[in-house]
Amino acid sequence: AQTVTQSQPEMSVQEAETVTLSCTYDTSESDYYLFWYKQPPSRQMILVIRQEAYKQQNATENRFSVNFQKAAKSFSLKISDSQLGDAAMYFCAYRRGARSEKLVFGKGTKLTVNP
Amino acid sequence: DAGVIQSPRHEVTEMGQEVTLRCKPISGHNSLFWYRQTMMRGLELLIYFNNNVPIDDSGMPEDRFSAKMPNASFSTLKIQPSEPRDSAVYFCASSLARKASGGFYNEQFFGPGTRLTVL
């Protein structure tokens, strides 16, 4: 079974600084998708960024970017120029293949942004 | 456009009672997902439907849990009888599975969740 591990239960960053959240996963599949979701105190789950395993180029969405290391099965999220609104739980998620819709989530990392 | 709608937002009940959680997916979406979130176990997929048909219910904890999707715009998750260990936040999500390069791509849009407390 696929597993997703987020080894940092909590992280903190100063406003305007950069922070990296770690995620590793275990799979024997070659075709899969990876996601980062944000859950602010409102509880709403919001998709931040996604990465297709067949793409070598790291995904980027404005201040959010990933470092996808397929051989190492690592998928970290970098947040640049951190803002107070970035404070939230961040979840890494895995989806097997192009035709599966099942997401497997990590336990999450709580990010605090200090003014 | 309205997002995924869940009701109730909060539910407090006593052990042994029946609980029904409701979800209205985004109009036009063809897949619907039920998740449970707890501190101990994190976010787990319970069941998901595609075109109103259950596809994977391997995450449903036991026979006390059941889910239905009678039509494309409505789904329920029922717990009968409820137990204190069922206390959690239950999320519903929906997606439109569409074909993209490399296969099917679908983003799941989550509802606000229902916080269930079983006393």
Q: Any chain A CB within 8 A of the CB of B5?
A: no
Q: Any chain B CB within 8 A of the CB of A3?
A: no
Cβ-Cβ contacts under 8 Å, B105 against chain A? 33, 98
Q: Any chain A CB within 8 A of the CB of B6?
A: no
Predicted confidence at residue A97, as pLDDT, reads 77
Chain B closest-CA separation from residue A39 CA (Å)? 10
Q: Any chain A CB within 8 A of the CB of B113?
A: yes
> Torsions phi, psi of A51, nearest 5?
-140, 130
Predicted confidence at residue B103, as pLDDT, reads 53
Say if residue B25 is preceded by a cis peptide, omega within 30 of 0: no
> Torsions phi, psi of B85, nearest 5?
-70, -5
CB contact burial B46-57 (16+ within 10 A = b; e otherwise): bbbbbebeeebe
Contact A44 B55 (CB under 8 A): no
Minimal Cβ distance to B31: which of A52, A101, A104: A101
Contact A91 B43 (CB under 8 A): yes
Q: Is B99 exposed, middle or buried (0-12, 13-18, 19+ CB in 10 A)?
A: exposed
Q: Is B117 exposed, middle or buried (0-12, 13-18, 19+ CB in 10 A)?
A: middle
The per-residue pLDDT for range A18-47, each reduced to its tens digit, is 999 999 999 988 889 999 999 999 888 999
> Torsions phi, psi of A86, nearest 5?
-80, -10
Chain B closest-CA separation from residue A17 CA (Å)? 28
Nearest CA among A49, A54, A28 for reference residue A38: A49
State the average pLDDT over residues B14-32.
96
Token digits of residue A30: 């070659």
The radius of gyration computed from the CA coordinates of chain B, to the nearest angstrom, equals 14
Stretch among A66-75, B47-56, B98-107 having the lowest mean pLDDT? B98-107
Kindly identify which residue of chain A lies nearest to residue B31, measuring between CA atoms: A101
The per-residue pLDDT for range B85-113, each reduced to its tens digit, is 999 999 999 998 766 555 556 789 999 99
Predicted confidence at residue A96, as pLDDT, reads 87
**What are the E-state strand segments in chain A?**
3-5, 10-14, 19-21, 24-26, 32-39, 46-52, 60-61, 64-69, 74-79, 88-96, 103-105, 109-114
